[in-house]
Amino acid sequence: MIDCLDDQVFHLHNAQVSYVLAVMPNGQLGQLYYGATLGNLTDADVTYLQTQASKSAGTVKYSTKTGNFNLSDRAQAYPVYGSSDFRQGAIDISCDQTPWYLDFQVTDYTVRDTKPRDLAHPATYAVGNQEAQTLIVTLTDTAHQVQLTENFTIFNGYGAIARQNTVTNLGPQAITVQNMMSAALELPDDDFQMVSLSGAWLKERHVTYHNLTQGTVTVESLKGASSHQQNPFVALMRSQDLDYGEVYASNLIYSGNFVSRVEVNEWHKTRLMTGLNPNYFGWQLAANESFTTPEAVLYYSNAGVNGLMATTHGLAQHHIADRQWAQRPRPIVLNNWEATYFNFDEDKLLALAQQGQQLGVECFVVDDGWFGHRDDDRTSLGDWRVDRRKFPNGMGAFAQKIHDLGLQMGLWFEPEMVSPDAPIYQDHPDWVVRHPYERTAIGRGQYVLDFANPAVVDAIYAQMKPVIAAAKLDYMKWDMNRNITEAYSPYLVAHGRPQTEFFHRYMLGVYHLYDLILSDFPDLLIEGCAGGGGRYDLGMLFYSPQMWPSDDSDAVERLSILTGSALAYPLSAFSNHVSAVPNDQVGRNTPLTMRHSVADFGPLGYELDITQLPAEELAAMQANIAFYKQHRTLLTTGQFRQLKTIDPQENEVAWSVSDATQKELFVGFYRKLAQPNTGVLNYVRLPQVDPHKQYQIDDSEIVSGAVLQHLGLREPYQFNGANADTAQLRGDFQAHLFHLVAVD
């Protein structure tokens, strides 16, 4: 997968993608190509790719020794600002407040066939020596005595390159890393529309389009988390076609402050960079110390949106999330939150669990309110002792009753937070994130613990571990409901570290707690959550194979959230709960059929008081759970495709999930609002079916794959005011789940 040609050109390639790097005339590492696979390059190909004999006008020559060579019009693997390139660079280092204009020249390289999974640092991994190869290029700035190591990993079967960089101070003076991106990608034109995933609490990761022109488009977070408002994923699309056209994309395997930036220069060349947000960041390196960036992934597809999703989903499931969860069935969850909120005791929870067990659920999750004296959201965080008023015999005894029902046991934690009345707050006021001034912001009645301090992480885990062990916990919901303000750490002061290191050290502390938990309890399924979807990213996915996508469980809103999320994250990560109506977040009434038809795509759960439901709704839930169990593998890990649009404003949504052989698939069809006098006969095309097979639709009609490909699957007849005798769907919030099976 990696060819090293004359120690000057490096070709990373597989059947999907080629990435060609080369040593430039100034000794730095350049990028010659990224895109559809080029196969095996000939010497003539390499010469052609390297040839650039002319110089762009209005540019500065790099040096007196390199002729017309300049960096302004060269595609660079890791661009540096200020040495004939005036665009934003990938790395900035200073010494004694003097900026250095770095000159990293290639000095060595090696190729590694293994990439082990390391719980201490979220990143891609490979099993064995056949799944991936990594090119490691060492570059040195001799004058400044700084070394840069760039890692490029290519995976067998995926159009993706993972990138990570390490800088080492080889000199005697301390230096400061002020900016260090994880990846940069140069593209030869700007004929793209940029797509980001934007929104807010209750409406996360909506598809947002940005037109590119000369200048810069940036999405970022400074909230100490990847945030509800933006997501590290961005894509550059040649068109909005679902199945055709080139798409380039990037994502960051990281959960804290980030920036993803697309810059177009005066010659319509595009530069995409992603990494740690340089605002409020600075990392001090003493002699022989190193700093390593989070890893980023660059994606390529020439098969449109659905081709991109096949790559992002496959890579996430097999090379980022713990692979054991790609094989193990995700439990059907009953969560008590919207059923009881804080108003519960052991008897009420057992009644819910018993009813759930009768319906067929497999895991009962006790949400917020089981610890301290937590009767509302203004108390007891950081005091992870079981509330004996609610659980007189402790959590272990209650969990045993849940296990005796044949159910798995789940529990909610918010380990990064503390309430002012918690003992840990009283005993260690210096363990709270806040600046040393009188006024300090407070959110949701709680503060953030200083996870940049390893002692804080250890103290929290010392509280959590006995609870996890006593309950023999199967499932954990990890929440995080408050972003960081007035970022300041007394620990950093005590250890002589600058406060600009805080945000990244905090995130490393969060990852360390995940490492501690999963090292001791490797079979524990952790569901990531951050006030809903405030930290829905690949860094979390590394530890949490499924994540709570939003606190908004409304089925209509989930259509837009899943549509955006699925561009970057696999269906298996999208945790779904069927909740009560009117919905608690938007007040909308949607039919149970629609709520089921949306929630069945991905890990299924329920979050409502099932002890108060009428018999017909309980019967419908029981039937859906039985159906879901029968088809769970396909609905959770099958190949997901969009069939109509990714525009969240459109009234109709259709998507599908199919097995690898295209013998079985489900198609979800959704219409948000009814419209008057619509056309009776409408179809949605299914490009993924086998044209040589025959498919039975909902145990009824048999239609050829060729007809389904080119004409399409007939949509349900909508009531149009005159077809009451034949209409299949009527009113707002319509849904139908088609089941197609290939037949002989």
Q: Is 431 exposed, middle or buried (0-12, 13-18, 19+ CB in 10 A)?
A: buried
Tokens of residue 716, six digits: 């349900």
246: nearest Cα among 300, 188, 210, 189: 300
Sequence-distant (≥ 6) Cβ neighbours of residue 386 within 8 angstroms: 370, 371, 394, 395, 467
Cα distance between residue 230 and residue 259, in whole Å: 10
Beta-bridge partner residues of 259:
220, 275
On whether the CB atoms of residues 446 and 421 are closer than 8 A, the answer is: no
CB 635 within 8 A of CB 625: no
DSSP state of 293: P
Q: Identify the CA nearest to 79 among candidates 209, 364, 273.
A: 273
Contact 585, 552 (CB under 8 A): yes
- Among residues 230, 320, 314, 224, the alpha carbon closest in space to that of 544 is found at 320
**Beta pairing, strands 175-187 & 193-200:** unpaired
Task: Write out the E strands in 27-129.
Answer: 29-36, 91-95, 98-100, 105-112
DSSP states of 20-52 as a string?
Answer: EEEE-TTSSEEEEEEEE---SPPHHHHHHHH--
Positions marked catalytic: 479, 551
Residue type, 555: A
Q: How many CB atoms lie within 10 A of CB 742?
A: 18
Rounded Cα–Cα distance for residues 168 and 140 (Å): 9
Cα 33 to chain centroid distance, Å, stands at 27
40: phi > 0 → left, psi -120 to 50 → alpha, else beta; which?
beta
Q: Which residues pair with 163 in a beta bridge?
A: 152, 296
- Asked whether 312 and 234 are in contact (CB, 8 A), the reply is no
Closest by Cα among 365, 374, 529, 386 to 464: 386
Specify the 3-state DSSP secondary structure of 635.
helix
